[in-house]
Amino acid sequence: MLHEKIALLLILVLVIISAHQVISTCTVGQKDVILHHCEKFIKVGRQVPKPIPILGQACCNAVNRVPREGKDINIQCIVDKLTPTDREKNDETKILNLPNHCQETGTCTVEQKDAILRHCEKFVKIGRQMPKLIPIQGQACCNAVNRVPRKGKDIDIQCIVDKLTRTDREKNDENKIINLPNHCQEDALLKVRID
């Protein structure tokens, strides 16, 4: 009975290890999808202006489907599957750089981004506003901003910007979003009062 349990446990461990190896590798199909959807971002040669993929686009969606090693997208797996013809047309360095633009950072959520865009709409919309509108502590906008996780002492507002879709970017000024913590972050108010 004991030997049967040990054998069963050993088989279970081997199945888990085998499944993990299958899960952690990418496929030629994933490579082909990335080469197709990310074509304009990974072409060999210099491009002016340099096109950058954005979260929510087909390219980033394809990149985010590549299996991960720990927290990072295993994009090297895609590069390893390139054929000589693929290498002639596509820049390996640009492919390796795709996760820097596409990988979700994980520090903030799409729900937090949506809350900021909803509650801070009048402060971040594109265009010049007269008089200039500034959010105030205690308002729904600042409350939403202060719920975003921090990197060190600072609100990780870049995480929110990274989650903007193309539609979000058409309606909202990224610079105004990046500036929100300057008005909303609690310790930012203390600095202003002390100065």
Kindly state whether residues 73 and 121 are assigned to the same domain: no
pLDDT by residue (tens digit) across 57-116?
899 889 989 998 877 889 999 999 999 999 999 999 999 999 888 876 557 888 899 999
pLDDT for residue 44 is more than 60: yes
Kindly state whether residues 9 and 96 are assigned to the same domain: yes
Q: What is the pTM of this model?
A: 0.47
Kindly state whether residues 94 and 178 are assigned to the same domain: no
Kindly state whether residues 9 and 97 are assigned to the same domain: yes
Kindly state whether residues 123 and 143 are assigned to the same domain: yes
Mean pLDDT, residues 140-167 taken together: 88
Print the domain residue range for 184: 110-194
Kindly state whether residues 8 and 89 are assigned to the same domain: yes
- Containing H/E element for 21? helix 2-23
Kindly state whether residues 44 and 66 are assigned to the same domain: yes
pLDDT score recorded for residue 20? 42
pLDDT for residue 188 is more than 90: no
Residues 92 and 75 sit within 8 Å (Cβ to Cβ)? no
What separation in angstroms does the CA of 76 have from each of 21, 31, 41, 95, 185?
15, 11, 17, 9, 38
Mean pLDDT, residues 115-124 taken together: 94
* Boundary (domain end) residue, out of 67, 102, 137: 102
* Boundary (domain end) residue, out of 54, 77, 102: 102
pLDDT for residue 178 is more than 80: yes
* Boundary (domain end) residue, out of 53, 68, 102: 102
Question: What would the DSSP string read from start to end of 78-112?
Answer: HHHT--HHHHHHB-HHHHHHHHHHHS--SSS-HHH
Mean pLDDT, residues 3-27 taken together: 59
- Most confident segment among 3-12, 15-24, 62-71: 62-71
Kindly state whether residues 18 and 51 are assigned to the same domain: yes
Distance CA 107, CA 37 (A): 26
Mean pLDDT, residues 42-56 taken together: 83
pLDDT score recorded for residue 54? 80
Give how many domains the chain has, as a whole number: 2
Distance CA 154, CA 146 (A): 10
Kindly state whether residues 70 and 121 are assigned to the same domain: no
pLDDT score recorded for residue 69? 85
Q: Band of the pLDDT at 125, cuts 50, 70, 90?
A: very high
pLDDT score recorded for residue 9? 57
Kindly state whether residues 11 and 98 are assigned to the same domain: yes
